[in-house]
Amino acid sequence: MHIHILGICGTFMGGVAALARAAGFRVTGCDGNVYPPMSTQLRDLGIEVHQGYDAAQLDTRPDCVVVGNVMSRGVEVVEAMLDRGIPYTSGPRWLADNVLRNRHVMAVAGTHGKTTTASMLAWILQDSGHAPGFLIGGIPVNFGVSASFGESEFFVVEADEYDTAFFDKRAKFVHYGPQTLVLNNLEYDHADIYADLAAIRWQFHQLLRTVPGSGRVIVNAHDENLSEVIAAGCWTSVETFASEGLAGWTAKFADATERRIEVSDPDGQSGEARWQLGGTHNLENAVAAIAAARSAGVSLQQALQAMARFEGVKRRLERTATVGNIAIYDDFAHHPTAIRRTIAGVRRRYPGQRVIIAIEPRSNTMKLGVHNAELGSSLADADGIWMYRPQDMDAGFDASLAGLGDRLRMFADYDQLVGDMSTKVMPGDQVIFMSNGGFGSARQTLTAVLQRTRGG
């Protein structure tokens, strides 16, 4: 069977392509921007990728078109698909029908931490001998790929609340039918599709309606929005987790620099492990993943041993270079909560060293000004902030940053931003590039400049 994927170079749809290829389908696809690393990954899988959205690519008459949510009515290939009567479906629906059916699905949902928690969970299962399948919106370093069909009944999926397709405006995650569901946290996001927080809570309520009574819901004990979701109706056993206060599963740091963690389960058993990450947010991600792994029979001690070998996720505070004792990181943080917690975690892990932030406001929610009230305060603990300012930001964005004073340096040009940074960063600095996009390759450019001027 031949499937053709529209928007194949996105992380999710690229993962669907890899799973389809592993399942024996003939797979082709298209996208508007075809470039590494996804183009390389798809090429290595033997998947032909067409650049652009013209109608001619459908002349091969695929048996089914899988439509990514980047597509909309009026796009030439979409109109041709409809005019020619070619069967079509969404990525989440195809995944549910062809990969998730008859498997124990472990889904990770929430505003923050989905990718890291899902990666941790998949690795704990792998390290414990379960050979899970997975589809994650990032690349776990331990696996080197974002998707794998797996060899067991268990399948880990990052459960995104973004809408499914132009013909299905439900959240992606309502298609997955998880037996084990992790709810990390819930804040307002995706302002381009959700009018308010209540609209997102409603989608999470729909997700809870799909979890069987024999399943397990693992929820952040201290998230008020998730408490409201649970109160609206839950028909499944609930376990709670937290990094402080009362909860069934708890975790804390066993040392001041956050290099060891201690986790306790609902039975009163506890254990410690050294790990490679840091930050309270990652501590909560870890305890949630460990709790979810119990669904597969993984003991607390097994899970902690696996966490000690977990190497992180690309683009989630990934240290990409160290030049002249200046550490450079790539981080996906683009929401004030994630920004604040990342800065706090790095400051605790590297006491006495400057935390320098380079940030690109790129998400639709950020550009719409939804986060203006919190953006400045989320950056307040940074020692220096280099802000790339897109042309379409309004005066409210500028006003939100006024309290940062002379620690803030604003640029409308990537090269100028890098040039200025390169003269002001100092040995010992922890330099974090924050963006959910490419940031104009500013991180790579700064690395190259420092290697040339400060010595490799």
At 317-341, the pLDDT tens digits run 899 999 999 999 999 877 888 899 8
Q: Is 210 exposed, middle or buried (0-12, 13-18, 19+ CB in 10 A)?
A: middle
The CATH number for 2-92, chosen from 3.40.50.720, 3.40.50.300, 3.90.1150.10, 3.30.70.260, is 3.40.50.720
How confident is the model at residue 365, as a pLDDT?
67
pLDDT tier at 367 (50, 70, 90 boundaries)? low
Beta strands at 237-242 and 163-165: parallel, antiparallel or unpaired: unpaired
How confident is the model at residue 372, as a pLDDT?
74
> Mean pLDDT over residues 67-92, rounded?
97
Task: Give 227-256 pLDDT, tens digit per residue.
Answer: 999 999 999 999 999 998 899 999 999 988
Query: What are the tokens at 25?
Result: 């389908």
Superfamily of domain 318-453: Mur ligase, C-terminal domain (3.90.190.20)
Q: Is 455 exposed, middle or buried (0-12, 13-18, 19+ CB in 10 A)?
A: exposed
Give the global pTM: 0.86
| Higher pLDDT pick, 41 / 433 | 433
> Mean pLDDT over residues 74-79, rounded?
98
Q: How far from 373 is each of 199, 335, 379, CA to CA, in Å?
A: 21, 12, 12
How confident is the model at residue 368, as a pLDDT?
67
DSSP secondary structure, 403-420, as one string: GGGGGEEEES-HHHHHHH
Task: Give 103-121 pLDDT, tens digit per residue.
Answer: 999 999 999 899 999 999 9
Judge contact between 138 and 316, C-beta under 8 A.
Answer: yes
Q: What are phi and psi of 160, to 5 degrees?
A: -85, 140
Write down the domain spans for the chain: 2-92, 102-308, 318-453
Q: Is 180 helix (H, G, I), strand (E, B) or coil?
A: strand
Of 137-141, 213-217, 385-389, 411-415, the range with the lowest mean pLDDT is 137-141
Dist CA 63 CA 20 (whole Å): 13
pLDDT tier at 36 (50, 70, 90 boundaries)? low
In 3D space, the residue among 342, 346, 404, 396 whose CA is nearest the CA of residue 366 turns out to be 396
Amino acid at 111: T
Superfamily of domain 102-308: Mur-like, catalytic domain (3.40.1190.10)
Res. 456: pLDDT tops 60 = no
Please name the residues in contact with 362: beta carbons below 8 A apart, sequence gap of 6 or more: 334, 390, 435, 436, 437
